[in-house]
Amino acid sequence: MLKINLKEIPESPGVYLFKGEKGEVLYVGKAKNLKNRLFYYVKGPLLSPKIQRLVETAEDLEYFLTQTEKEALLLEANFIKKYRPKYNVLLKDDKNYPLLRLGLQEEYPSLQIVRRRKKGDKALYFGPFTSTRGLREVLKLLSNIFPLRKCSLSEMKRRKTPCVYYQIKKCLAPCVKPISREEYQKLVNGVIEFFQGGGKKLAIKIREEIERLAENLEFERAAFLRDRLKDLENILEKQAVVLQEPVDLDFWLNQKTENKEYFIVLFIRHGYLYGFQTFDVKTPLEGSALKEVLLQFYLDGKIIPPEIYLPQEIEEIESLEEILTENAGYKIKLLIHPDSEEFVVLKQIAFKNLQEYILSEKRREKPWYSGLSEEIKKVLKLSKEPQRVEAIDLSQFYGEAKVGATVCFFEGEPDKNFYRRYNIKEAGRDDYSMLYEVLYRRLKRGLEEGTLPDLFLIDGGKGHLETALRVLEDLNITDLEVRAVAKNKKRQPEKVYIPGRKNPVFLPKYKEVFHFIGRVMEEAHRFAQTFAEKKKREQDLSGYLDKIKGIGPKRKEILLSNFKSLEDLRQAHLEKIAKLPGFNLKIAKTLKESLTQQSD
How is 283-322 classified by DSSP, letter by letter?
PPSSS-SHHHHHHHHHTTS----SEEEESS--TTHHHHHH
Confidence of residue 480 (pLDDT cuts 50, 70, 90): very high
Residue 475: other Cβ atoms inside 10 A: 16
- pLDDT, tens digit, 9 for 90 and up, residues 84-126: 888 888 876 556 678 888 888 888 888 888 887 777 777 888 8
Please report the pLDDT score of residue 374 as a whole number. 87
Read off the amino acid at residue 96.
N
Pairing relationship of beta strands 14-19 and 455-459 according to DSSP bridges: unpaired
How large is the average pLDDT for residues 56-68?
89
Of 62-66, 278-282, 300-304, 385-389, where does mean pLDDT reach its minimum? 300-304
- pLDDT, tens digit, 9 for 90 and up, residues 152-196: 888 888 888 888 888 887 888 888 888 888 888 888 888 888 777
Nearest CA-CA partner of 575 in 556, 597, 600, 592: 592
Task: Write the burial class of residue 473 (CB in 10 Å: 0-12 exposed, 13-18 middle, 19+ buried).
Answer: exposed
Whether 31 has a pLDDT exceeding 60, the answer reads yes
Q: Which helix (H) or strand (E) holds 335?
A: strand 333-336
Geometric angle at alpha carbon 430, from 426 and 435, rounded to 5°:
80
How large is the average pLDDT for residues 341-364?
86
**Percent of the chain scored above 70 by pLDDT?**
85
- pLDDT, tens digit, 9 for 90 and up, residues 3-21: 777 778 888 899 999 998 8
Q: Where are the alpha helices (DSSP H) in 546-584?
A: 553-562, 566-571, 574-578
Please report the pLDDT score of residue 338 as a whole number. 92
Dihedral of the CA atoms 476, 482, 488, 492 (nearest 10)? Answer: -130
Whether 600 has a pLDDT exceeding 50, the answer reads no
DSSP 197: I
Please report the pLDDT score of residue 264 as a whole number. 94
Per this entry, what is the length of the chain? 600
Nearest CA-CA partner of 295 in 258, 340, 326: 326
Number of H helices and E strands in the chain, helices first, is 20, 19
Q: Is 587 helix (H, G, I), strand (E, B) or coil?
A: helix
Q: Are 114 and 98 in contact (CB under 8 A)?
A: yes
Q: CA separation (Å) from 492 to 29, 380, 513, 576?
A: 55, 17, 12, 46
Please report the pLDDT score of residue 490 as a whole number. 77
CA separation for the pair 87, 27 (Å, rounded):
5
Pairing relationship of beta strands 481-487 and 493-497 according to DSSP bridges: antiparallel
Q: How far is CA 289 from the centre of its chain?
A: 16
pTM of the model: 0.56
300-327 burial by CB neighbour count: b if 16+ within 10 A, else e? eebbbbebbbbbeebebbebbbbbbeeb
DSSP 241: B
CA separation for the pair 72, 55 (Å, rounded):
22
Q: How far is CA 79 from the centre of its chain?
A: 25
CA separation for the pair 117, 125 (Å, rounded):
8
Q: Which residues have CB under 8 Å from 33's CB, separation 6+?
A: 11, 12, 13
Nearest CA-CA partner of 570 in 547, 592, 588: 592
CA separation for the pair 398, 401 (Å, rounded):
8
CA atoms within 13 A on the CB side of 315: 11
CA separation for the pair 551, 540 (Å, rounded):
15
How large is the average pLDDT for residues 351-370?
78
Pairing relationship of beta strands 333-336 and 307-310 according to DSSP bridges: parallel
**Which has the higher per-residue pLDDT, 469 or 145?**
469
Radius of gyration of the chain (CA): 37
Dihedral of the CA atoms 283, 288, 290, 295 (nearest 10)? Answer: -80
Residue 44: other Cβ atoms inside 10 A: 12
Please report the pLDDT score of residue 578 as a whole number. 73
Nearest CA-CA partner of 394 in 447, 441, 339: 441
Pairing relationship of beta strands 260-269 and 307-310 according to DSSP bridges: unpaired
**Which has the higher per-residue pLDDT, 405 or 199?**
405
Whether 247 has a pLDDT exceeding 60, the answer reads yes
